[in-house]
Amino acid sequence: MNVIIPTQDSRMGEIIEKVRHGQRLTLEDGVFLYESDDLLTIGQLANEVALRKNGKKVYFIENMSLYFTNVCEAHCAFCNFRKDEGDPGAYTLSGEQMIEYVEQHIHPGVREFHIVGGHNQHVPFQYYVDSLKALNEKYPDVTLKAYTAAEIDFFSRISGLSYKEVLQELMKAGLKSLTGGGAEILSDHYRKKMRVTKADVSQYLDVHRTAHNLGLRTHTTMLYGSIETKEDRIRHLMQIRELQDETNGFLVFIPLSMQPINPKAGIRRRNSAFEDLKTIAISRLMLDNFQHIKAYFINIGVQLTQVALTMGASDAHGTIVKEKISHAAGALTPEGITREDLIWLIKGAGRIPVERDTFYNEIKIYE
C-alpha cells in the first residue's frame, strides 16, 4: 500500500525504502524521525507497517485494573500513586477485600485482571502470592496479568528467592502474564535523576527474559515525556527489540505518555498530541519484531487513540473499569470505557474491532 506523499527529504526517502524492504532501522534513523516535523509521512509509513502485520484489525479486551496496595518503598519522582504506611489514603487489601471490591465493580465478559501496585515492604512475599491465589480460586476463568518486572525484582529482594523461583511461585498461584510497567526509560542515568530506586535497566530486562524462558508472554512499556532525550527513547526501543530477538516473549509494546503531578496542570505541562502520535508511529517503525503497538487511551485520550489507529497502533487496550495510577498523576481521561464505546472508537477509524484475550487470541470480530 504505497500511498506516502512524495518527500523531498532524501534521508526520509532512505528510511521509507528501508522500511518497505524490511531493513531494520538504526539509532540514527530513529533520532532523525523524532527530530522531523513530517508527522504525516512518519504516520503513513507506520500505518503501512501496521496494515502489513495485522490488516485492518484493531484489538481490545474486556479487562479490569486492580491495585492491592498503594504503600511503596520507592519514591519515583513522577509517581503520585504511592503512599507511606500510615499516610492518609494508604491501604493494603487482603484477597477477601479485593474480591469484595471486584464483586461490586465487575461486569460480565471480563477476561483479564490487570494487577499492579506499590512495593509494600511491610508485608511478606507470601501476601503477594496469596493475593493472586484468592482471585484465581474465585475467578478461575479470568486471566491474571499481574505485577511489573520491578515488582518481581522487589519480591526477589524481600524473599531471598531468585527471579525464576519468584515467578514459579506466582505461576503456581495462577499468574499467566506480567504487566509492562516499571520500564520507565531504560537508561541508568535517567533512573538516577528521576529517583527510580526500583529495578535497574538490566534487572528489568532480566525479569522479562526469565519470564519468557518459563513460557510466560509479557508486556512492555516506555514512560516518555520528562527529562529523557530523543536518543534515550530510541535506545530504550532498541533494548527491548534486542530482547525480543532473543526470546520472542513480548506480546505488545505500550508507549505511556507522562502525566503531570497536578491534575489542574495546563497543556504546556503535558506531552503534545503531535509528540504522542509521533511516539506511537516511531515505536511501530523501530519495533519490527513486535506484533502490536498499543494506543493507551488513559494517557492520550479516546479521540487521539482513534487517530493513533491510523498511525501504527493495532491495540486500543480495554475496558479497565477504574484506572488509578495515571489518574493519581493528573490524567484528564475517563477511568474506563465500555465495550460499545471501544467498538465505536475503532470502527470510527475505519478499522475492524476484534475482541481478544490476554494472548491476542481472537474472541469475536465486529465486522
Residues at the binding site for S-adenosyl-L-methionine are 78, 184, 195
With H, G, I as helix, E, B as strand and everything else as coil, classify residue 16.
Answer: helix
d(CA 129, CA 300): 33
CA distance 346 to 338: 13
The sign of the torsion formed by the CA atoms of 192, 193, 199, 200 equals: negative
Mapping DSSP onto H, E and C, the string for 80-112 reads CCCECCCCCCCCECCHHHHHHHHHHHCCCCCCE
How crowded is the C-beta side of 215, counted as CA atoms within 13 Å? 4
Distance CA 183, CA 192 (A): 13
Residue for grid cell 524521525? 33
- The pair phi, psi for residue 315, each rounded to 5°, is -140, 130
Distance CA 11, CA 28 (A): 11
12 membership: H or E segment, kind and range: helix 10-20
Contact 220, 268 (CB under 8 A): no
Burial pattern 278-299, b for ≥16 Cβ within 10 A else e, equals: bbbbbbbbbbbebbbbbbbbbb
Residue count (the chain): 367
Helix axes 95-105, 125-138, angle to 10 degrees: 40
The CA distance from 177 to 182, in Å, is 15
* Residue 142 grid cell: 479470568
Smallest CA-to-CA distance from 118 within 156, 147, 88 is with 147
What distance in Å separates the CA atoms of residue 202 and residue 50, rounded to the nearest whole number? 29
Residue 268 gets which letter from DSSP? G
What are the binding residues for [4Fe-4S] cluster?
Answer: 72, 76, 79
Question: Residues comprising the binding site?
Answer: 72, 76, 78-79, 184, 195
